[in-house]
Amino acid sequence: MHIADILSRDSVTTSFEFFPPKNDAGWDSLFHVIADFERMQPSFVSVTYGAGGNTRTRTHELVVRLKTQTKLDPIPHLTCANHTKEDIENILTQYAQCGVSNILALRGDAPIAGSTASDFPHAADLVKFIRQFNSRGTHSDPRGFGIGVAGFPEGHPDTPNTLVQMDHLRAKVDEGADYICSQLFFDNSAFIDWQERCELAGIRIPVMAGIMPITSIAGLKRMAELAGGTRFPAKLLRAVKRCEQDAAAVERVGIHWATEQCMALLDHGVRGIHLYTLNKSEATQAIFQNLGIQTSSQLRQP
């Protein structure tokens, strides 16, 4: 379903993020719990692309399997890094032929030494190219692909100047992005302030809040690496430290914190919540239960 139709249907979107498994065991593990995700009826799910597009083939395989074998509506990530215009044209053509309706357009990690130079220096360039692809009528939907982009409530390590960073986000919107999905964050006040700054910059498209529950100490450390610049509030760190020797308790703390974030965001009128699942259903299910819902449709009421 095109993102415009999803946004028209759902007053609040709820979405999940998956990553392409690296081996057969990972595929089996994900599809063992895929029915759990289906029962929660997300507005859509997204599939990551990996650093420099290094999971390109696996991303496409997972998107196609989700599209053809499940009730989930997949949105593939697509990055600029290490890609030529011909590469992106071929990828978009494949997705159009598979009936994929939307793309999340990202800059991705900077190319490593010796890698192929990209024809797309910035995510805004990729958004512009997708819009040009849409205009050629290759997609069965006359609107072409819906386009999502990333936003960074607490800043991006490559662009410390937050005014310049907002200019970059505005450029993506001006090139034709339909919605913004935020990087994960643990401090709602940072997200709300960033939303207000987006409005001051003239950005009016819907913004989904990225939430990742902490489920382990190792996961906490990985998050710090994954989302450079993301703040971990002292209150959260104290709660984790109190029970750091008890893995189950750490997970409960993380789920509780994420639930509180979601509740406050919903009360504040957030347009969407995007949950980073790590391909595991338990934490996402627990958050839904804590919110008092069984399916996303219960949040979709006008």
Query: What is the set of active-site residues?
Result: 17
Which of 170, 172, 187, 249 is CA-nearest to residue 215? 249
Torsion of CA 215, 220, 225, 228, to 10 degrees: 100
DSSP state of 144: -
**8 A C-beta contact, residue 54 and residue 84:** no
Tokens (6 digits) for 195? 């939303």
d(CA 168, CA 82): 20
DSSP class of residue 99?
A: T
Sign of the alpha-carbon torsion through 25, 26, 29, 35: negative
The number of beta carbons lying within 10 Å of the beta carbon of residue 161 is: 11
CB atoms within 10 A of CB 301: 8
Distances (CA, A) of 43 to 216, 254, 289, 298: 27, 24, 17, 11
Q: Taking the CA of residue 14 as centre, how many other CA atoms within 13 Å lie in the half-sphere pointing to its CB?
A: 25
Reference 107, options 58, 168, 65, 160; nearest CA is 168
Task: Kindly report the length of the chain.
Answer: 302
What distance in Å separates the CA atoms of residue 254 and residue 236, rounded to the nearest whole number?
Answer: 8
Q: Which residues contact 225 (CB under 8 A, 6 or more apart)?
A: none
**Which distant-in-sequence residues (6+ apart) come within 8 Å of 218 by Cβ?**
none
